[in-house]
Every structure is written in C-alpha cells, then in structure tokens.
Amino acid sequence: MNLREKISTHKAEIGLVGLGYAGLPMGIEFALSGLTVHGIDTDKDKVRDLNHGRSHVQDVEDKVLQGVIDSGHFRAHSDYQVVSQLDCILICVPTPLRQTKDPDISYIMDAAQNIRRHLHKNMLIVLQSTTYPGTTEEVLMAEFQEEGFEIGIDLFLAFSPERVDPGNTTFNSKNTPKIVGGVTPACTEMAKLLYQQATDKVIPVSSAATAEMVKLLENTFRAVNIGLVNEITIMCDKLGVSVWEVIEAAATKPFGFMPFYPGPGLGGHCIPIDPLYLSWKLKMLNYNARFIELASEVNTQMPEYCIHRIVDVLNQNQKCVNGTRVLILGLSYKRDVSDVRESPALDIIRLLEDGGARVDYSDPYVPELDIDGTDKESVALSSDTVSEYDLVVVVTDHTEVDYPMIQESASLIFDTRDVFSKTHDNVVKL
C-alpha cells in the first residue's frame, strides 16, 4: 500500500515532534479523525502526564485526551525510536529568537537530525514551526537529501503554518483553514491529503516558501497595526485626547478601517517574535524591513511607557514609586490563557521593583510563578485585599475578574486595557 492509500484509508501512522500549544491540539484532531498518532517530546514528565490523560495545554481537555488514549489512537513518546514505523511526521517545535534577534532554529535542526536517523522511503514530513522563508527547502531538504531520497517521489516535504489562537473558543485546529506548501507539487498534494483527514478546509499554495511567508504576513500585519495604535496612544496622551474614544468612533466607519487596540506591550511566542524572522531574512538580502523594525521598537517600549504614565499618576496623587504597594491584575500575555511567554506584565513588574515598589500580582490562570528568581503567588481578590494597595494596574483583562469590585475597592487604578469603560475618579487609562 502506498502512502496516499494509507492516508486516505486512515492506515497511516502520524507522528508529531513537539507536544506544546500547537502540536498537541493538531495531534488530537488527527487522533479524533481515526488516525493513529504518536507524539514525541523530550520532556519526560510531559510525556508521562499525557499518557495518563493529563493535558498541559489549555485548549485540550483531559477527557478528550483520555478518550483518544482509550481508543488506541494516541500515545506520547520521549524518544525518536517510533519514527521508523511512522508514515507522516509533523515538526512543531519552538523557534525562539536569540538575544541578537536572529532566528534560533536549533530545535528544528535537532528534530530533523533525530528523524533522519530513522528515515525511510514513502514518508511525508511537514514543518509547522514558524520560521523564515526558505527554511524548509534550504535546511530540511538538504538534511534529508543526504540520505539519498528523491524529494517528491520517495520522500515528501512541505510546510504548513500553525494558526493556533490559545484560548479561542470559536476557532481551533479543526475549523481554522490550513495552508500547505510543498517543495514539489507532489509534496503539496500529499500534505493537502493528510490535513484533509483532520481539518475542515485545506488551502494549497505554490511552494513551501510561500506558506512560510503567509504565516509571517499574518503576524506582521498584527504587529505593525498594534505598533501603530500604540504610537497613536502616545500621541493622544500628549494631545489630551482619549485613544479609546477615538478608536470607538473610528470603528463606526463601515469600510476602510479595522480597529486595533493599544496595550502595555506584546506577549506570546508569535506576534513579538515572528516578524523579526522576516526582518532578519531580508537583512541577508540587503533590505531593511522598516515597518517591522519600527513596530517592534514601539511595541517593545510600551512597558517603559506604562511605567512613565504610572509615575505621573502616582505623583499626581502625592505618591512615589519607591515604597508603593502595587497589585498587577493579569500576568499572562493575553486574556483567559495561562501563557506568560514574553508577557509585558513581567517587564512592568521588573521595572516597578527596580524603582523600589512592592509588587504583587493576581491572575486566576497563573497561580504561582518564579519571577527573576523570586517565587510569587497569585493574590486572591477581595475588597479588603484590593484596598490594601496604593495602586492597581490592569495589565491583562481576564473575563472572570470582578472589575466593579476592583473599581469600588481600589484607591487608584491604572487601566491599560479599557476594562473600565466609564469615567471613574480613581481610574486613569492608558
């Protein structure tokens, strides 16, 4: 039976390297469709928990995970030995930036080298990790061709960007359209066939590089527009105008305008990082991606701008940062998730503590966290607790927080998310 027949009849065995927020949900969708899925992750504790039905990813419920385990369609592994029996492999490993702001693809390379040790004919390998255009063809193809395989005939290679939005209850791995681009047309068709087994809509593009660029455009679009509205926020402050009122009014235009909203900075793995992959790649081609660099500069400076505003707010209330008790509302990088990667809240806490403030946080999704070597626990919110602080700073607007109680109990609030839409004497907005 050839690979196409195996996929079409659900006889193919699927592997996912990397069982994080992108890899695990995709693997579960394949398992729910009736395909046998093998997850591979070097974190042995994570693998143990998954095999016992305990999910570490918010968007995958324990009962769903346990269901595909009980049906025999999912199992996690901590080594690559299982690759020798797989037909299709999806690489979903992290791709962070180095301190020099160039892409770190070492996780991709490590996965590729481990897969290569067990490589065999009639396999499909799809890279899902966000990276710069050209990675699939320039890095992965070169790695696998050294084994003597002919790409598009006895080994199929493609790129398909992950489009996961953690915490989104409307769009998930199944109903979000899947982009696929292969190294050859045959590779594209094979990848398309695979994803059609588990997702509602698959959109093929002409090449792997095109698919890689699609992902970067999506996140660059958001980063640049957020950078624009963050700069508009600073302008409005200088002009004595409410940026929130301006956006609300502008959004009434039924054409030619899409509202973006300011905030204390960008967080998560994607938006603050992905556009810089593209910027780095273009520097290699002697081109300066000016919009990307400027947006990154504006967005990166927003925590410091928030501190500047906080200092002004405290001064206007005859207080200074040194010795002030501050409560940060929301530690994660976005609403209703537990992910704190690149969260601006961490920068704001660090800057406040550098100024001598005593800072606590409250976040229902992050019960405890080590912040710069100090263990902190989330503060339980009550009117008595909130009233003990000199300042409450709303950084992440979780929906389950009792904001009316916060407004009534806090002596002073700095709101970076417009959770207090009405005017209150004790609330100052970004």
Same domain for 116 and 196? yes
Q: CB count, 10 Å around CB of 256?
A: 5
Co-location of 185 and 259 in the same domain: no
Whether 125 is covered by a domain: the verdict is yes
Determine, yes or no, domain membership for 222.
no
Domain check: are 265 and 378 in the same one? yes
Number of folded domains that form the chain? 2
Q: Is 270 a catalytic residue?
A: yes
Q: Report if residue 213 sits inside a domain.
A: no
Determine, yes or no, domain membership for 366: yes
Q: Among 172, 206, 240, which residue terminates a domain? A: 206
pLDDT on residue 102: 83
**Number of C-beta neighbours around residue 251 at 10 A:** 13
In a domain, residue 149? The reply is yes
Give the pLDDT score at 372.
82
Residue 172 maps to a domain: yes
Q: Residue 36 and residue 275: Cα distance in Å, rounded?
A: 35
**Residue 422: what pLDDT?**
80
Catalytic residue chosen out of the listed positions 92, 187, 270, 306: 270
- Residue 56 in any domain: the answer is yes
The answer to whether the beta carbons of residues 116 and 145 sit under 8 Å apart is: no
Residue 188's pLDDT is: 98
Pair of tokens at residue 41: 């992750």
Domain assignment of residue 219, yes or no: no
Strands 391-394 and 74-77: unpaired
269, 145: one domain: no
The reply to whether 162 and 236 lie within a common domain is no
Domain that holds residue 262: 231-429
Same domain flag for 178 and 295: no
E-strand stretches of 108-226:
123-127, 155-159, 178-182, 202-204
pLDDT tens, residue order, the chain (430 aa):
899 999 999 999 999 999 998 999 999 999 999 999 999 999 999 999 999 999 999 889 999 999 999 999 999 999 999 999 999 999 999 998 888 778 899 999 999 999 999 999 999 999 999 999 999 999 999 889 888 889 999 999 999 999 988 888 899 999 999 999 999 999 999 999 999 999 999 999 999 999 999 999 999 999 999 999 999 999 999 999 999 999 999 999 999 999 999 999 998 878 888 899 999 999 989 999 999 999 999 999 999 999 999 999 999 999 999 999 999 999 999 999 999 999 999 999 999 999 999 999 999 999 999 888 888 999 999 999 999 999 999 999 999 999 999 999 999 999 999 999 888 999 999 9
Considering the domain architecture, whether residues 242 and 199 belong to the same structural domain is answered as no
Cβ-contact 225, 247 below 8 angstroms: no
Predicted local confidence at residue 166, as pLDDT: 84
Tokens coding 156: 């199929």
Residue 108 β-bridge partners: none
**What number of other Cβ atoms are within 10 A of residue 342's Cβ?**
19
Beta-carbon count within 10 A of 247 CB = 19
CATH of residue 186: 3.40.50.720
Q: Is the dihedral of CA 335, 336, 337, 340 positive or negative?
A: positive
**297 and 390 share a domain?**
yes
* Distance (Å, whole) CA 182 – CA 192: 9
Provide the token pair at 198: 């588990």
What pLDDT is stored for residue 145 in this prediction? 87
The confidence score (pLDDT) of residue 103 equals: 87
